[in-house]
Structure 1
Amino acid sequence: MTPFAIAGVQMYVNALQPNVDGMIQRLDILMARFPWTQMVLFSELAPFGPLDRFALPPENETIEQFQAAARRHRVWLIPGSMFLKHPEDGRVYNTSVVINPEGEVVRRYAKMFPFRPYEAGIAAGNEFCIFDVPDVGRFGLSICYDMWFPETTRQLTSQGVEVLLHPVLTGTTDRDAELAIARATAAQFQCYIFDVNGLGAGGVGKSCVVDPTSMVLHQSAGQEDMFPIEIDLNMVRRQRETGMKGLGQLLKSFRDRPTDFPVYDRDSGADAFLHTLGPLEVPQQGSRAGLHVDVPAQQVPAEIPAYKGKNGFPPEPLASATAGTAPEVAQTPAPAAPAAAMPDPQTTPETPGQNDNTSG
């Protein structure tokens, strides 16, 4: 058994004033109540809320405060994320930091998939975040919308990540879909998921912890919550060896796949349909959001070339529409069963005058 205790903190986030002091206060309370906690995760943009006008330089006093708090409690700390502005080109990134129990920043991660078109003006990162906790296991970090793109988790788990830390800020009606994605991700990639949302300007809550079988270990509601959960990383390793519940060995099956996916080759033409969907923009009243609604369902525009495979040739068609299928055998209806014969009712000869109620 390889136990490790991770706590999520679902807290109210203010959009117009800093939340840093409140985060550190909750960390102090958490560690006083649950001193066995070894790692703490806050929600996306918890320190300053969702407005990028509060963007800070990469090195700032707020990060130093979090470093001091991690050092004081001897705990791994991921204080959600915050907007950081690149000192040279001025671009703003949604960035998380990973702080070890010595108070050192060991990793920085910029969100790869900003929630476009709504997060306009936020630059996308291009480096994955993986770090090891000594004598425990390998951890990865993705932020909110990143997990909607399974390629991000595929990359992390292909490099051995066993626990995915996932701070989110979801205050919209798609939170239930996001929770379904969290469960599916845990099962698909045989890893733990710690999905921590905020409240108020930080989201609608419903944080969750999911194990590698997609079982929900904890589900927050719509109020503040601190939830330390001790996990066992040997469960991840066992399932990756023998399959989820002794069944699907997903990572090994992907490793041994006989097929590459041409859609990931931008020059293959396999993604031609995607280029017909119009611009990525916020829909307006009465707009069609750039969708080709005049195109009948399931019909690809004629000008889009079909992908012809690596060798340049499409797969050979079958000789006929029914080739390769078993011939239909004419079914002769079975003769109807004869109706069951009704037995003759037994009759008893009637004695004259037996039922005669008249007197003579």
Structure 2
Amino acid sequence: MSSNRRSFGIAALQLKLDEADNLELLLQKIQRTKLRYPWVRMIVLSELALRGVGAQHARELPSAEEEAFCRSARELGVWLVPGSMYEKCGSAVFNTTPVINPAGEVIARYRKLYPFLPYEKGVTAGDQFVVFDVPEVGRFAVSICYDMWFPETTRAMAWLGAEVIIHPTKTDTIDRLDELSIVRASASMNQCYVVDVNSAGQQGVGRSIIVGPEGETIHEASVEEEIIAFEIDVERVARVRTRGMKGLGQTLKSFRDSRVRYPQYEPGAVSPALEALGELKVPE
């Protein structure tokens, strides 16, 4: 497979969004992005772009809004990861990201593994990883915002073969700089692309970041609205993982070959140190 066939255009939309119904605005921005950058084959939005925070916004999926995203993907012929939305499933509410292919089909729905507790109230944790293949390009995975603070999640996606991690985020707090460090470290440790798209305006502080498989920053956004169109070379992921990052550490091979047993993953494992931290609750 030639490297040209594994190059792939992505647009990450860092939009100024209100805590409101943003569907028509999002559809308009998606369409304009494809018109301006016809070479883009995937469009990615930020976490909870559709309506913002609030489990009361939950809808059963498929919903009318999800179907509108599907029509847009089909009409434009693009892969679409429309951020995330609250999904009602029985008595549970999940923070869910659909993955829509260019035929307008939802091929997967990823439920956020680590809701931002104790603040993301009323949201249930998912328990399944989502990886999917873009034919003749590579294997992609989805992660949402707070998930990346748990490095096990990113390592699991790499273990499942992910070469590109799509990471919708909604951060409106002062820890954004720390998140940028985590994104760079995650890409470096797992030799993969990470597409971390945050919102701007009322919903977030912007500063989306795109990082490559050797930890290089492809683009770091401002705090304003930006349409970040870029091209990735997925063949590079295989080269870096095989030869070593910057020709040095072959991390994933060492992880594969190691026989280390991690105490935190032993059956019935309990950490007295972590137990002593007490209840997960809002600080007073």
Q: Is the TM value for this pair above 0.5?
A: yes
- How far apart are the structure 2 equivalents of 1:133 and 1:100? 9
Task: Quote the residue 1:57 is aligned against.
Answer: 60
Kindly indicate whether the alpha-carbon contact (under 8 Å) linking 1:10 and 1:199 is maintained by their aligned counterparts in 2: yes
Number of aligned residue pairs: give it: 280
Aligned equivalent of 1:216: 217
**Residue of structure 2 equivalent to 1:7:** 11
Q: Tell me what 2:203 maps to.
A: 202
Q: How does 1:178-257 map to 2 (within 5 A)?
A: 178-257=179-258
Report what 1:176 is aligned to. 177
**2:123 equivalent in structure 1:** 122
The amino acid of 2:50's aligned partner reads: P
CA distance in 1, matches of 2:220, 2:268: 43
Contact 1:46 1:198 in 2 (8 A): yes
Q: For residue 282 of structure 2, what is the aligned residue in structure 1?
A: 282
Please say if 1:45 is aligned against 2:48: yes
* Residue of structure 1 in register with 2:272 after alignment: 272
Residues of 2 paired with 1:142 and 1:125: CA distance?
Answer: 11
Specify every segment of 5 or more residues in structure 1 that has no aligned partner in the other structure, as ranges. Answer: 285-360
Superimposed CA distance per residue, residues 235-282 of structure 1 (whole angstroms, 9 cap, x where no aligned partner): 10001101001100000000111311011125244x221101010000
Question: Which consecutive unaligned segments of at least 5 residues does structure 2 have?
Answer: none
Task: Give the superposition deviation at 1:159.
Answer: 1.1
CA apart distance, 1:28? 1.2
CA positional deviation for 1:12: 1.5
Q: Once the 2 structures are TM-superposed, how far is the Cα of residue 201 of structure 1 from its aligned partner? A: 3.2
Q: Partners in 1 of 2:263 and 2:192 — Cα distance? A: 27
RMSD: 0.9
Greater relative contact order: 1 or 2 (C-alpha under 8 angstroms, separation 6 or more)? 2
**Partner Cα separation in structure 2 for residue 235 and residue 117 of structure 1:** 39
Residues 58-95 of structure 1: per-residue CA shift (max 9 Å, x gap): 22100110000000110000000000111x3x211000
Shift of 1:104: 0.2
Structure number, greater radius of gyration: 1
- SS in structure 2 opposite 1:8? strand
Distance 1:165 1:43 in 2: 10
Q: Which whole-Å CA distance do the structure 1 matches of 2:251 and 2:197 have between them?
A: 26
Q: For each residue in 1:305-352, what CA deviation from the matched residue of structure 2 results, as whole angstroms up to 9, or x when unmatched?
A: xxxxxxxxxxxxxxxxxxxxxxxxxxxxxxxxxxxxxxxxxxxxxxxx
The residue identity in structure 2 corresponding to 1:92 is V
Opposite residue 58 of structure 2, the aligned amino acid is: A
- Tell me the distance in 2 between the aligned counterparts of 1:151 and 1:279: 22
The aligned counterpart of 2:72 is: 69
Distance 2:83 2:204 in 1: 13
- Identity among equivalent positions (%) equals 46
Q: Which structure has more helix as a fraction of its residues?
A: 2
| Whole-angstrom CA distance in 2 between matches of 1:200 and 1:32 | 24
- Structure 2 counterpart of 1:81, which letter? S
Per-residue displacement from partner, 1:155-184 (whole Å, max 9, x unpaired)?
Answer: 110011000000000000100000000000
CA distance in 1, matches of 2:130, 2:101: 14
CA distance in 1, matches of 2:281, 2:222: 32
Q: Distance in 2 between matches of 1:196 and 1:95?
A: 16
Cα drift, residue 121 of structure 1:
1.2
Mapped contact 1:49–1:201 kept (Cα < 8 A): no
Q: Which residue of 2 aligns with 1:292?
A: none
| Greater percentage in strand | 2
* Aligned equivalents of 1:14, 1:84: Cα separation in 2: 20
Conserved? CA contact 2:58–2:88, under 8 Å: yes
Q: 1:160 aligned to 2:161?
A: yes
